[in-house]
Structure 1
Amino acid sequence: MRTRFWRQRTKIIPATLTLIASLLLTGCLGNDAEDWNGKNISGLMPELEFDLINSQGESVSGDDYSGRVRMLFFGFTSCPDVCPTALQKLSQATSGLDPELQDEVLTLFVSVDPKRDTPERLAKYVDFFGDNIIGLTGKEPQLRELAKRYRTTFGYDEPDPDGNYAVSHSSAIYVFDREGNPRLLMRPDLSREEIRHDLVALIQEDS
């Protein structure tokens, strides 16, 4: 039976907005020497670390993807709006890089809907958006621990009579440098050109 996508707009968890507001109040997000488009979160969050399953069903950790600039995004494949829009923008941002720089960036799409998002389904989903996107998921406790690590959360609505349900989640994009250090928090309203500018700056500073 073909899965029918949920038509209601995705509910966005406000936890990340609360984080941004608190950091602004403490003056921690001021621009430094680099003119970032994203918010500078250097030293304000833990390094990239996880133990999940990729879209091939293999156990992976954050160390398996070290050496590249990585963008971390929480979502789910049945998401009708936020996830496909964000992933398309990230794909356009990276595909617009100079060819020699494109492999220096990786998007990590973490599905917080493990009940529906099997590795096979994840593989088909991320492959649609390009080559440098990795689908990840895990058991719900693992996913909640990872979300908590980056000061956000997610939740599930009650299923409708057909078994479909909406998932609320953050729309933030976390950017880590080659060593896995947290560097930027990207807002979903940034353009692909603005995202690309920040990616180039991170690649060049680590090269």
Structure 2
Amino acid sequence: MEWGAGPQNSLQPTHQLMKCPTWLTPALFVVTALLVGIFASVWLVPTKSPQPYPGMGGDFTLSAISGPVALSDFEGKAVLVFFGYTHCPDVCPTDLARMGQVLNALTPAEKAGVRGLFISIDPERDTPQRIADYARFFHPSIIGLTGTPDDIDRIAKQYLVLYQKAEIGESQAGYLMDHSTKTYLIGRDGHLEKVLGHELEASQVLAAVRDVLMSDA
């Protein structure tokens, strides 16, 4: 027999609705309002993750021309970190120039709360003096850092940075370094907040920096 077939060709209710006592209506209204408020506070109010990239990033100490420098030295500031090397023919100058543009675009108050770090992945050739001069060429607020090969390797692993030496035969440069091309934006609390691609415009990086400054305020 098909649904709806029968003498009256209609479905009949199998139960009757019970009338709710009038005294329950206000109570149900109050309970419903409370539940709606609880769910709204949980699901509708945005919350900031304490660490957007768990297990990635973290403190480190390397050598600058002025002596040891740790990421934690910049607590309370936003930090742009880029891994590269001074003999880099293309990517590093481009990304450091972009970092310099971002720093120049900040207001004086914003600029006081932002630093740039350029970490060498070629400690064999990048002395503290060489990387300091190279970094300062792009902006005085960018600090050049280097260290032992073990130091660099450990920190690169913290930030999931890939790099390797690429021999180029008879060239005077001797070798190049293939490496990741991301810029890492560290929040004022020392946690990694954003990973910024090489393809982004300076205006997009600037917006990301300001977003971190505002969210950490």
Taking structure 2 as the reference length, what is the TM-score of the superposition?
0.72
Task: Letter of the 2:216 partner, please give it.
Answer: D
Q: Report the Cα offset of residue 102 of structure 1.
A: 1.0
Name 2:126's counterpart in structure 1: 117
Name 2:19's counterpart in structure 1: none
Name 2:211's counterpart in structure 1: 201
Contact 1:45 1:150 survives alignment (8 Å): no
Contact 1:171 1:188 survives alignment (8 Å): yes
User: What is the CA deviation profile of residues 103-156 of structure 1, one whole-angstrom value per residue up to 9, with x for unaligned ones?
Assistant: 211111100111111111111101101121011110011111111111222111
d(CA) in 1 for partners of 2:46 and 2:64? 36
**Correspondent of 1:133 among 132, 142, 149:** 142
Name 2:74's counterpart in structure 1: 65
Name 2:195's counterpart in structure 1: 185
Contact 1:48 1:176 survives alignment (8 Å): no
d(CA) in 2 for partners of 1:142 and 1:157? 20
**Correspondent of 1:174 among 181, 184, 189:** 184
The one of the two structures with greater contact order (alpha-carbon pairs below 8 A, sep at least 6) is 1
* 1:160 partner SS: coil
Name 2:18's counterpart in structure 1: none
Task: Letter of the 1:84 partner, please give it.
Answer: P
The structure with more radius of gyration: 2
Q: Which runs of 5+ in 1 are unaligned?
A: 1-31, 35-40
Q: Single out whichever of 95-104 and 171-180 deviates more from structure 2.
A: 95-104
d(CA) in 1 for partners of 2:197 and 2:55? 16
Task: Letter of the 1:100 partner, please give it.
Answer: A
* 2:150 partner SS: helix
**Correspondent of 1:50 among 60, 70, 92:** 60
Asked if 1:86 is matched to 2:95, the reply is: yes
d(CA) in 2 for partners of 1:98 and 1:141? 38
Q: Which runs of 5+ in 2 are unaligned?
A: 1-44
RMSD: 1.9
d(CA) in 1 for partners of 2:117 and 2:132? 12
Q: Report the Cα offset of residue 67 of structure 1.
A: 1.5
d(CA) in 2 for partners of 1:191 and 1:43? 23
Asked if 1:102 is matched to 2:111, the reply is: yes
Task: Letter of the 1:96 partner, please give it.
Answer: A
Contact 1:51 1:59 survives alignment (8 Å): yes
d(CA) in 1 for partners of 2:211 and 2:145? 26
CA shift in 2, pair 1:134/1:127, >3 Å: same
Q: Report the Cα offset of residue 47 of structure 1.
A: 4.3
* 1:59 partner SS: strand
Give the fraction of aligned pairs with identical amino acids, expressed as a percent: 31
User: What is the CA deviation profile of residues 6-39 of structure 1, one whole-angstrom value per residue up to 9, with x for unaligned ones?
Assistant: xxxxxxxxxxxxxxxxxxxxxxxxxx969xxxxx
User: What is the CA deviation profile of residues 167-198 of structure 1, one whole-angstrom value per residue up to 9, with x for unaligned ones?
Assistant: 01110111110111111010111111111111
